[in-house]
Amino acid sequence: MRRPVSVLVAFSMATSCLVSAFAQSDQQVCKSDGNQQDINACAEHRFRQVDGEMNRLYGTQMARLSEASKRSLRDSQRAWIAYRDNACYYESGVKGQALESHATTGPLMLYSCRESLTRQRNEVLRQYLQCTQNGCPE
C-alpha cells in the first residue's frame, strides 16, 4: 500500500511545478497543459536544479577542507546519495524499471522525493559552509 501522504506531497509538488514556473527554463519544461509526461518532466527538472545546487555547495565545501576531511566528506556524501536514492526508489516503487516505461505518477514521486531530500542535504551543506566556530568540520 502506498503512503497517502507521499501521494499528496507528490501531487502538491507537481502543482507547484506547473503553477510557479518562474525561470525561462522552468517555463519551457514545466508546461501548463498538465499531462502526466509533462508533470514528470517538470519534477525531474526541479530535482536536477536542486541537485546541481547540491553539487556546487559540496564543491565549495570540499575546496576548504584538508585531505583527511575531504575523504570523510566524500564518503559521507556518497553514502548520503545512496540513502537518498534507495529511500526514494522504495517510496516511489520504480526501482529496477525504466522510468520511461512509467506513464503513471511513479517518476513524479521519485523525483519529488529526491528533490525534497536533496533540499534537506543542501541545508546541511550550507550550515557547513557558514560554520566558523570551534567544532566545525574542517
Q: Can you list the domains of the chain with their CATH numbers?
A: 4-127 (1.20.1270)
The number of residues making up the chain comes to 138
Give 73-123 pLDDT, tens digit per residue: 999 999 999 999 999 999 988 876 655 555 578 899 999 999 999 999 999
Give dist(CA 76, CA 126) in Å, integer: 15
> Is residue 137 within 8 Å of 131, Cβ to Cβ?
yes
Give dist(CA 8, CA 48) in Å, integer: 21
Residue 134's pLDDT is what?
73
Say whether 46 sits in a helix, a strand or coil: helix
Tell me the pLDDT of the chain averaged across its residues: 80
pTM of the full predicted structure? 0.75
Does the pLDDT value for residue 10 go beyond 50?
Answer: no
